[in-house]
């Protein structure tokens, strides 16, 4: 190996006598911006093919009455249900209730998960203290806590907030812990060389390095939060999108049922897209495989 290196080093002497002609620096171009610009329209087309096809088939199947409208209403009647529910009924109120409750639960769960994850990630003592109890709690489905909390705090929003926070807490906690544990020691060494105090080391080295992993937890947690608020609303209470589902089922309003399902899906989808954008912004330094 080193004998090779040496003969290479020797070869250089004789070849490069003239003054070196070093690449002149050119402005680094923003690769992603250039690319997504030229591809935005085709992307949209590509992503729409399957949903549009489904819509067309759905319309055909129901319009030709291949299935009973009680089981499967037409897209048009679902759209009408949307209009009715929005302007003559309570859709906005239910959206607001679900949205606020899920935000509260998410904020609490993610905040606690982040804080606990950081603490356990930085100190193995903390990890040992709380690790096994947290792992036990994790095994219990969030909804299993609902009856107990309703017993304690009544059938208000508290139970739902707890269920949502519990569902968000664990993915955020575990991914934060994991992210911090796998921060390269090499980066921490750079901080030590510049005599970074603990807090600054956390803010400037450890958290940024762990951020990709933390974000996985947050995105997954956001999805879980949305599942859980709907499920909790279906189980108890008199408002929220989940309650609309139960009500539509009891009244056999299939068009409303379908409508609410679509709304739930679209909201969850938008939140995930938004989070993904945010992630791309925050992690733009990371150039991964883009497909």
Partner 1 sequence: MSTTEAIEVEISGLSKEFDNDGQTVVALDGIELSIKRGEFLTLVGASGCGKTTLLRIIAGLELDYEGEIDLEGIPIRGPGVDKGVVFQDHRLLPWLTVEENVGFGLFRHAEQERRQLIQHYVDLVGLRGFEKAYPNQLSGGMAQRAAIARALVNKPKILVLDEPLGALDAMTRIHMQNEIEKIWRREKVTMVMVTHDVEEAVYLSDTVALMSSRPGRVKKIIPINLARPRNREDPAFQALRKEILTEFQLQTKAQFSYEI
Any contact of residue 277 with partner 1 (CB under 8 A)? Answer: no
- State which of residues 49, 193, 199, 252 lies at the interface with partner 1 (CB under 8 A): 193
Any contact of residue 183 with partner 1 (CB under 8 A)? Answer: no
- State which of residues 37, 63, 192, 277 lies at the interface with partner 1 (CB under 8 A): 192
CA atoms within 13 A on the CB side of 94: 24
Q: Nearest-CA neighbor of 212 among 241, 185, 180?
A: 180
Q: CA 181 to CA 123: how far, in whole Å?
A: 10
Q: What is the DSSP secondary-structure string of 138-156?
A: HHS-GGGGHHHHHHHH-SS
Any contact of residue 68 with partner 1 (CB under 8 A)? Answer: no
Would you say 152 or 194 has its CB closer to partner 1? Answer: 194
Tell me the C-alpha to C-alpha distance, in Å, between residue 13 and each of 68, 75, 131.
Answer: 86, 77, 60
Binding mask 100-139 for partner 1 (x = CB under 8 A): ----------------------------------------
Q: CA 269 to CA 214: how far, in whole Å?
A: 20
- State which of residues 13, 38, 136, 139 lies at the interface with partner 1 (CB under 8 A): 13
Any contact of residue 17 with partner 1 (CB under 8 A)? Answer: yes
Q: Which of residues 28-47 bind partner 1 (CB under 8 A)?
A: 28
Are the C-beta atoms of residues 248 and 257 closer than 8 Å to each other?
A: yes
Element (H, E) at 184: none
Any contact of residue 205 with partner 1 (CB under 8 A)? Answer: yes
Are the C-beta atoms of residues 232 and 201 closer than 8 Å to each other?
A: no
Any contact of residue 199 with partner 1 (CB under 8 A)? Answer: no
Q: CA 83 to CA 221: how far, in whole Å?
A: 32
Please state the closest distance from residue 11 (CB atom) to partner 1, in A.
8
- State which of residues 66, 285, 289, 291 lies at the interface with partner 1 (CB under 8 A): 285
Q: Which of residues 211-240 bind partner 1 (CB under 8 A)?
A: 211
Stretch that binds partner 1, among 43-51, 175-183, 203-211, 253-261 (CB under 8 A): 203-211
DSSP 89: S
Are the C-beta atoms of residues 213 and 179 closer than 8 Å to each other?
A: yes
Residue 73 dihedral angles phi and psi, to the nearest 5°: -75, 165
- State which of residues 112, 209, 267, 271 lies at the interface with partner 1 (CB under 8 A): 209
- Let me know the angle formed at the C-alpha of 288 by 34 and 170, rounded to the nearest 5 degrees: 125
Any contact of residue 290 with partner 1 (CB under 8 A)? Answer: no
Tell me the C-alpha to C-alpha distance, in Å, between residue 39 and each of 32, 42, 46, 280.
Answer: 11, 6, 10, 17
Any contact of residue 88 with partner 1 (CB under 8 A)? Answer: no
Would you say 130 or 209 has its CB closer to partner 1? Answer: 209
Would you say 25 or 42 has its CB closer to partner 1? Answer: 25
Any contact of residue 280 with partner 1 (CB under 8 A)? Answer: no
Name the residues that contact partner 1, by CB under 8 A.
Answer: 1-3, 5-6, 9-10, 12-13, 15-17, 20-23, 25-28, 186-187, 189-190, 192-196, 200, 204-205, 208-209, 211, 283-287
């Amino acid at each position: 190996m080193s004998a090779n290196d040496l003969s290479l080093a020797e070869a250089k002497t004789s070849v490069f006598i003239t003054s070196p002609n070093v690449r002149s620096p050119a402005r680094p171009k923003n690769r992603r911006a250039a690319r997504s610009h030229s591809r935005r329209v085709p992307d949209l087309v590509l992503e729409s093919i399957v949903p549009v096809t489904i819509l067309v088939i759905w319309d055909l199947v129901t319009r030709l009455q291949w299935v009973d409208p009680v089981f499967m209403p037409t897209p048009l009647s679902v759209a009408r249900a949307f209009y009715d529910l929005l302007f003559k009924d309570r859709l906005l109120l239910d959206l607001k209730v679900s949205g606020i409750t899920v935000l509260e639960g998410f904020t609490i769960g993610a905040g606690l998960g982040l804080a606990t994850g950081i603490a356990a990630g930085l100190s193995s003592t903390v990890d040992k203290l709380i690790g096994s109890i947290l792992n036990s709690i994790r095994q219990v489905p969030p909804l299993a806590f609902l009856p107990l909390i309703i017993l304690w705090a009544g059938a208000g929003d508290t139970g739902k907030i707890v269920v949502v926070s519990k569902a968000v807490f664990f993915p955020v906690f575990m991914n934060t812990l994991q992210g911090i544990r796998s921060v390269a020691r090499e980066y921490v060494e750079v901080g030590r060389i510049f005599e970074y105090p603990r807090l600054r080391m956390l803010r400037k080295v450890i958290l940024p390095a762990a951020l990709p992993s933390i974000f996985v937890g947050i995105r997954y947690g956001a999805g879980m939060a949305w599942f859980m608020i709907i499920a909790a609303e279906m189980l108890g209470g008199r408002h929220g999108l989940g309650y609309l589902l139960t009500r539509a089922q009891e009244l056999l309003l299939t068009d409303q049922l379908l409508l609410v399902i679509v709304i739930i899906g679209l909201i969850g989808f938008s939140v995930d897209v938004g989070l993904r954008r945010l992630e791309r912004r925050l992690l733009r330094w990371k150039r991964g495989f883009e497909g």
